[in-house]
Structures are given as structure tokens and as C-alpha cells.
């Protein structure tokens, strides 16, 4: 595709696999001239220009200097801290909600109270700012039960307690500061049974359009065993998400949320990432994230087959009814390679070899999360390090392509789950 004469400049904020996938897809847009990423990582730097912008002032100044037309904010903390508000005040278009709307993720209690007020299906719950009241709420409850830190806890503030003593310990841990300020309040909710799904919709604050779904694998071990992580792999599309079910989610969860936020004076612009449980009573909302998921985005961007720039811009400027959303019918899979020891203390500063060989086929793209480039090498710097992402005509083929690429990597300090997609593959 030839770049349009009036092609635009984009800045992506973040340093993970999600930001690599977004930067890469935007770099292929015919509407985009240049893509920058701050701060980026060793793999992102191979696809777009990386810059290090430490503060909101730095970001605003860079947008002015480089004539940035759109800022895409990856991590939730920047959104909760009001970066989108600051940039919009400067006249810069932003993909992502303002601070008031970002409370949908920034406070689980806010989200649950909104659901109760507007009749959005979710698990029964209690929301507490005192440890004593939270402990008293446990009396007579059935188990398992779910304890959640109210604020941002990097995806780790959720504990499924199998009995009352475990629930009491979880509440005490949260109020004692295990998750910092995130645990100053807690949500206690019923445990829902069913199939968990990540569902995405783009909204301009008034209208919303579906933007695909994926299924994440949160546990570190095969067969969904071991502790929770930020995500060990995803696949899509999901056989279980029929057109009828997707429409039900849009009509009963997504659109009512968009309308509710407008009524609350917190117009939501950006992506609504709904963590859903498909129960026997229909889909119910587990939680909202106000940004794209990681590693779901890697699968979504590998499968997305249109110009991403106008879609993201329309979220800020309006015109969602005119954008082209198209995903390849092929299946996609992202397998996360993590450093040994993750999600606990993990090996740092190991060298990853074989990356070019592993990604030599067109069906494979390796997105970097925790890496840096140093002395001609790619060095692992984080817990989740790579997202080995592949397409295939079937899910079996996508899985075969992803694991064949992993087998070409030379990184003994890394590991992955070998059963991503097992529910659908079964």
C-alpha cells in the first residue's frame, strides 16, 4: 500500500507486548507516516522509532515538536493518572479515556456500583473500605468466593478463596498493604462458573462497535494450574463466541455501560475490554479494563486486516459508523515466553538467540514485552518477555506455527505453556 499524501504521525505510550503489537500494526497503516513509541523496548525499536518521554510535560512537548496527530495510550496507569485529559487540553487526539472514565478499571468498586445502578449483569458483591466490615460480610457465605483489591494491582489483586480462613487472610493481606494503595478498599463477590472470555469494543462515548474477542490463559502452569500471571497466551477467534452471543454482550453489557458513563458525566472514549464469564444464565461482567489487553492484543493485531488508524481516531473524533473493522478468518495464537521463575523471582539479563530464525516465516510475528537491545543482542529484562504470535487456517495450524517458532529460539532461561488454546483444541 502507498502511504497517503496526508499521512499522520502517531505516538504509542508503553513498553510491553501490547504496545509492540499496536505500534507494528499502525506502522502498516496507509494513513500513517511515522510511528513513535515511548519508551518502547528492544523489539519495538526494530519496527518503529523509540523515544524516552518521562513525564506528561515531556509527552505534550514531544507531540507539539513532532506534530503528533494521535496518541495511543497502552498502560492503564497513564489513563488513571489523566494523561488523556492533559493531551486533549493541548488539542491532541487520544485513544483512551480521561481519568474520570478510567475509574471503570481504576476502582473495581466504582465499576460494580455502576453495574448495580444500571442493571448490567455481574456477580453479586459487597464493597468495603474497612477490614472489619469486609470480614463481617464473609459470615454465612458459600465458597469459593472472590476477593479483589479495589485499585490497580497489575492484574494480581484477585484471590479466589476456597474457604473462610483463606478469605480472611486475603482481606487482611490487602488491608495491610500487600497491593499498596490498591488494597485500601476491597470487593468481595460470588464465584461465577462458566467460560471466561476477553471481549473488546471501541467506543466514542456514545456509539460502540465490537472489536473481537480472545481467550487468555492466566495460570502459569499447563492445565490452568499454579499461580495467576499477567497472561501466558491467547487465541482467537473463539468458537464459543457466536454472532448471537456477541450481539447479546453488546446489547446487555457494552452499550448500557457506554450510556451509563455518559449519564454519570464521564464520557468514555477508547476501548472497553470486558472480562466476561459465560454462565448458564448468560454472559456476566467480571471486570472492565479501559485499555487493550496483554497478550490479547498480540492475537487481535495479528488478525486485524484493515487500516487501524481511522478506527482509533474515530474513538476520539467520532465517525465509528464509517470505519472498516475487518479481521482475517484465520486463527491466531500468541504464546508468551516468560523468564524462568516467573511469576515469582525470575532470571534477569539473559541473552535471547534465534529470534530472526524463529520469525522467518510470514505466519509468525514475535512481539517483545520485557527486552532491551544491548551490544547487538536482545536481553530479557522482564517476567513476560516475548509473545510468539502465529496465524493459521485452523487453530491447530496456528498453534503448530507458534510452537515451531518457539522451538527455534535459543533461550534456555525462558519457558512457556505448551497447551495454549487447549479448550478449543480439545
Domain CATH number, residue 134 = 3.30.1490.20
Q: Which of 350, 333, 330 is nearest to 388 (CA)?
A: 333
Going by pLDDT thresholds of 50, 70 and 90, the confidence category of residue 1 is: very low
Q: Kindly report the CATH number assigned to the domain that includes residue 28.
A: 3.40.50.20
Domain stops at, among 322, 349, 378: 322
- Look up the pTM and report it: 0.94
- 8 A C-beta contact, residue 218 and residue 231: yes
Structural domain count, the chain: 4
Q: What is the mean pLDDT of residues 204-221?
A: 95
Reply yes or no on whether the pLDDT at 179 is more than 90.
no
Domain stops at, among 184, 201, 224: 184
Q: Which of 269, 276, 288, 266 is nearest to 107 (CA)?
A: 288
Residue 52 lies in a domain: yes
Task: For residue 196, report the phi and psi dihedrals to the nearest 5 degrees.
Answer: -90, 135
- For the record, the C-alpha cell of 330 comes out as 484465520
Q: How far is CA 2 from the centre of its chain?
A: 31
Cβ neighbors of 40 (< 8 A, separation 6 or more) are 15, 19, 23, 48, 50, 51
**Side-chain half-sphere of 132: how many Cα atoms within 13 Å?**
0
pLDDT in tens, 14-23: 999 999 999 9
pLDDT in tens, 115-149: 999 999 999 989 998 889 999 998 888 999 999 88
Residue 341 lies in a domain: yes
Strands 384-392, 331-339: pairing is: antiparallel
- One domain, residues 262 and 366: no
Q: Which of 292, 75, 53 is nearest to 84 (CA)?
A: 75
Structural domain that includes position 88: 8-98
Q: What is the mean pLDDT of residues 265-294?
A: 96
169 vs 138, 158, 161, 287, CA distance in Å? 12, 13, 9, 23
- One domain, residues 209 and 177: no
Does an H or E element contain 86, and which? helix 83-89
Q: What is the mean pLDDT of residues 301-317?
A: 97
Torsion of CA 302, 303, 309, 312, to 10 degrees: -110
Beta bridge mates, 384: 338
Amino acid at each position: 500500500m502507498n502511504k497517503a499524501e496526508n499521512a499522520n504521525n502517531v505516538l504509542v505510550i508503553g513498553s510491553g507486548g501490547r504496545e509492540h503489537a499496536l505500534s507494528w500494526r499502525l506502522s502498516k497503516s496507509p494513513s500513517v507516516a511515522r510511528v513513535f513509541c515511548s519508551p518502547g523496548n528492544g523489539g519495538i525499536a526494530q519496527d518503529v522509532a523509540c523515544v524516552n518521554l518521562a513525564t506528561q510535560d515531556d509527552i505534550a512537548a514531544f507531540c507539539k515538536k513532532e506534530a503528533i496527530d494521535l496518541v495511543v495510550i497502552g498502560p492503564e496507569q497513564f489513563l488513571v493518572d489523566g494523561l488523556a485529559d492533559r493531551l486533549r487540553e493541548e488539542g491532541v487526539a487520544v485513544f483512551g479515556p480521561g481519568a474520570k472514565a478510567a475509574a471503570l478499571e481504576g476502582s473495581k468498586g466504582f465499576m460494580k456500583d455502576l453495574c448495580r445502578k444500571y442493571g448490567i449483569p455481574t456477580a453479586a458483591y459487597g464493597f468495603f473500605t474497612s477490614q472489619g466490615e469486609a470480614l463481617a460480610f464473609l459470615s454465612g457465605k458459600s465458597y469459593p468466593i472472590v476477593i479483589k483489591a479495589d485499585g490497580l494491582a497489575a492484574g494480581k489483586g484477585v484471590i479466589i478463596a476456597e474457604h473462610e480462613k483463606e478469605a480472611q487472610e486475603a482481606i487482611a493481606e490487602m488491608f495491610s498493604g500487600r497491593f499498596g494503595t490498591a488494597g485500601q478498599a476491597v470487593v468481595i463477590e460470588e464465584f461465577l462458573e462458566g467460560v471466561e472470555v476477553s471481549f473488546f469494543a471501541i467506543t466514542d462515548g456514545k456509539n460502540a462497535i465490537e472489536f473481537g474477542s480472545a481467550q487468555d490463559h492466566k495460570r502459569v502452569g499447563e492445565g490452568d494450574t499454579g499461580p495467576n500471571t499477567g497472561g501466558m497466551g491467547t487465541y482467537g477467534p473463539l468458537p464459543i463466541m457466536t454472532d448471537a452471543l456477541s450481539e447479546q454482550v453488546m446489547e446487555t453489557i457494552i452499550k448500557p455501560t457506554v450510556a451509563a458513563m455518559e449519564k454519570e458525566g464521564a464520557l468514555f472514549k477508547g476501548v472497553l475490554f470486558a472480562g466476561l464469564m459465560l454462565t448458564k444464565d448468560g454472559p456476566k461482567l467480571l471486570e472492565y479494563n479501559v485499555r487493550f489487553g496483554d497478550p490479547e492484543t498480540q492475537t487481535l493485531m495479528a488478525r486485524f486486516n484493515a487500516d487501524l488508524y481511522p478506527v482509533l481516531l474515530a474513538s476520539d473524533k467520532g465517525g465509528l459508523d464509517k470505519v472498516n473493522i475487518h479481521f482475517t478468518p484465520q486463527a491466531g495464537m500468541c504464546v508468551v515466553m516468560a523468564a524462568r521463575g516467573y511469576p515469582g523471582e525470575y532470571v534477569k539479563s539473559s541473552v535471547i538467540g534465534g529470534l530472526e530464525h524463529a520469525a522467518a516465516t510470514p505466519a509468525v510475528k514475535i512481539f517483545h514485552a520485557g527486552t532491551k537491545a544491548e551490544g547487538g543482542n536482545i536481553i530479557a529484562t522482564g517476567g513476560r518477555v516475548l509473545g510468539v504470535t502465529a496465524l493459521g487456517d485452523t487453530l491447530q495450524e496456528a498453534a503448530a506455527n507458534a510452537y515451531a517458532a518457539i522451538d527455534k529460539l535459543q533461550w534456555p532461561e525462558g519457558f512457556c505453556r505448551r497447551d495454549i488454546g487447549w479448550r478449543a483444541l480439545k
